[in-house]
Amino acid sequence: MTTSTKTILTAAHWGPMLVETDGEQVFSSTGALASVHPNSLQSAVRDQVHSKTRVRWPMVRKGFLTSPDKPQGVRGQDEYVRVSWEEALDLIHAQHQRIRASHGPAAIFAGSYGWRSNGILHKAATLLQRYMSQAGGYTGHLGDYSTGAAQVIMPYVVGSNEVYQQQTSWPLVLEHSEVVVLWSANPLNTLKIAWNASDEQGIGFFEQLKQSGKRLICIDPMRSETAAFLEDSAEWVAPHMGSDVALMLGIAHTLVENGWHDRAFLDSCTHGYDIFERYLTGRDDGVAKNAEWAAAICGVSGDKISELADIFRHHRTMLMAGWGMQRQQYGEQKHWMLITLAAMLGQIGLPGGGFGLSYHFANGGNPTRRAAVPASMQGRVAGGSDAVERIPVARIVEALENPGGVYQHNGETRQFPDIRMVWWAGGGNFTHHQDTNRLIAAWQKPELVVISECFWTAAAKHADIVLPITTSFERNDLTMTGDYSQQHLVPMKQVVAPQFGARNDFDVFASLAERLEQGGRERFTEGRDEMAWLNYFYDVARKQGEARGVALPEFSAFWAANQIVEMPEDENSARFVRFGDFRADPQGHPLKTPSGKIEIYSERIAAYGYADCPPHPRWLAPDEWHGNAREGQLQLLSSHPAHRLHSQLNYAQLRERYAVAGREPVTLHPIDAAARGIADGDVVRVWNQRGQVLAGAQVTADIKPGVICIHEGGWPDLAPEAGNLCRHGAVNVLTLDIPTSRLANGCAANSSLVWLEKYQGPEMPVRAFDPPATA
């Protein structure tokens, strides 16, 4: 008998997809939008659903199950015992209530963070926090790992977080920009994904840019996939890691000494420039930050720095900045200085000029559509509590290490809560947090750790209770494509039934809510099941569409059609110029800063007195960088990978496209390889005082000598018998866990030094993707 197959429309962060299935097995998946740039991530649905790495059943750590009130054993080393769902939920409820009653809501960390599966109903962290709201409150998080420094400093500078704002429209860039600079940005990789679903338009815009004849410059220690994609149309400039502010200062000084800076714009649209110029020219400290001064720091010649100033000033220039350079110590200074440079050029608010901080993310610059947008699940129930405390997300380890400790954040004196319970849902903190060995030690401190997961990640392997959760292909949902464009509305139809014992987060937390109080399930769900919620969310979009002239069918017809709905274009959005209104009339359209202008000097930051975040952009040498490296040390770059989303899909067959010797690749220059007797394909050991990893050597001239790159997101695979050597090459075993500054407390992963050598030890098979033996 022939099994019938069908094609189901769904979506993920990497865009709408068509999945071939018989209802039990996934056979294939491909993108649902026409594209000349195939997205490798869209082929991985089968691997996600049928992976050997799936968490199949509720599991409890043996030492915890034996004595929940006083757990035994060590997280990460103990065996797991299978239990029923009812046993797991009863155990969580009892311990949750005990901890809450004894220590209060601040002792419950539910600030779960991560790139949860896409969809507007099944948002893991939102559902967790909705449940904790019903329970009486919790400790949440502030900020994120991606833009921790920039999103805090930018409101002081331009009055908005800027990193998640719509950009000057791509049609205007293509028409008006003469020079486009990709500064620490690799959009060919990062545009494969979006926080919602990708609209898949961004790489097409870069293709047009490539063919446009405009001058393109990539400033990055590594010749990225984007630079390779742009081929001969792009020039590669490679500064030392961490030295971008010095390079920008050298360009800025060249503008001043040649009279190329735009005094009229600085006078009308900025605040505090004269104070900054005293520092720039050396009137304050006797050190002129000229091109030669900058060259000695950043490793780019003085002539090249002067040439860049000449190019930028005499052409309409768009500075497209990525986020990697602010994931460094003193990261706040990077984007602040970039905007200062753009202000000195005087092109902010002009079509195709100025700066943009999200052209590389979620297809920023793709014009916003006249869209009808569904509602989404809220993280608070009626009458529930908000978070009673919040900590910067990148300071979770310090909070666990130092309960009650006093720290500074964004001008406030704050205190770490005494965290006794951690619940992480929809994220993988063991791959996105720095200094993995320090994290593991701190992770032993809470009384209860619960992980809701689809896969046996390192976080799951360090939990007391692991709950098996469905992938987005085992449930129904809705999504929009394009975080900025809102270009399409997509039904995310269930492809296959939940695998093994997996349940939806929505159902898990509804069951726990019923344990909180009589009628708790009804309060949590508001009397709606999955499809009723989707119908409700859709009706919000339908009513919004009526007001905007966008006709949507009834929900039942939309769902049955199994079709993408494309929203109409908006002519005004295609002409959008970021800061255009402000430039035209600074008084009539002031920014949300104290002065109403771009603040090159901030009195508010000056009042905080932070030595690690001065009141105007400055060059501050990091604790670990090229300038203080010991003999043989290399700078470590941890950039976004090409064939996964951070740690997602690391287990998939896509690994075969990039793994070297079965491990995460480490990219190094031939000069550095030859000095260590390393050939392409060799297994190498990379180490520093924080830890050690094995990786596969990828030798190429497409990286600056003295810099190596291990992409972030590799799953840790520590071998206790070998000094916690990571057999797989997880870069955060090596990265430095310090805050960017006391202002933002952002992630500073890209400020790390390492040693590297050819590995001569015994064979170490990779076990990162193996479930625990008893699972």
Binding site membership: which residues?
115, 327, 432, 475, 505, 732
Please indicate whether residue 279 is annotated as part of the active site: no
Nearest CA to 726 out of 764, 679, 760 is that of 764
Give the amino acid at 492.
Answer: M
* Strand bridging mode 80-82 / 412-415: unpaired
Choosing from 115, 138, 330, 651, the catalytic residue is: 115
- Two tokens at 552? 């949507």
- CA-CA distance, 663 to 726, in Å (whole number)? 10
| Contact status, residue 357 vs residue 164, Cβ threshold 8 Å | no
Contacts 24+ apart (CB under 8 A), 65-73: 65/91, 68/94, 68/95, 68/448, 69/95, 69/98, 71/447, 71/464
Choosing from 80, 113, 330, 687, the catalytic residue is: 113
- Two tokens at 79? 């065996």
- CA-CA distance, 295 to 305, in Å (whole number)? 8
Does an H or E element contain 47, and which?
helix 45-50
- CA-CA distance, 364 to 577, in Å (whole number)? 13
DSSP 247-274: HHHHHHHHHHHTT-S-HHHHHHHEESHH
* Strand bridging mode 59-61 / 26-31: unpaired
Three-state SS for 626? helix
Distance (Å) of CA 99 to CA 91, 355, 401, 698: 12, 48, 18, 49
Please indicate whether residue 755 is annotated as part of the active site: no
The dihedral formed by the CA atoms of 168, 172, 176 and 179, expressed in degrees to the nearest 10 = 50
- Two tokens at 391? 């900590």
The answer for residues whose C-beta is within 8 angstroms of residue 660's C-beta and 6 or more apart is 666, 681, 695, 696, 697, 698
Nearest CA to 676 out of 697, 652, 650 is that of 697
Quote the longest CA-to-CA distance of the chain.
Answer: 86
- CA-CA distance, 684 to 709, in Å (whole number)? 13
* Strand bridging mode 707-710 / 691-699: unpaired
| Contact status, residue 556 vs residue 242, Cβ threshold 8 Å | no
The answer for residues whose C-beta is within 8 angstroms of residue 620's C-beta and 6 or more apart is 245, 329, 330, 333, 612, 614
Residue 595 CB-density burial (10 A; 0-12 exposed, 13-18 middle, 19+ buried): middle
Three-state SS for 470? coil
Looking from the CA of 103 toward its CB, the CA atoms found within 13 Å total 19
Q: What angle do CA 638, 156, 164 make, to 5 degrees?
A: 50
Nearest CA to 433 out of 766, 78, 148, 41 is that of 148
| Contact status, residue 769 vs residue 755, Cβ threshold 8 Å | no
Angle of the 505-516 helix axis to the 124-135 helix axis, nearest 10: 0
Q: What angle do CA 218, 33, 208 make, to 5 degrees?
A: 30
Chain centre distance of CA 250: 30
Question: Would you please indicate which residues are annotated as catalytic (active-site) residues?
Answer: 113, 115
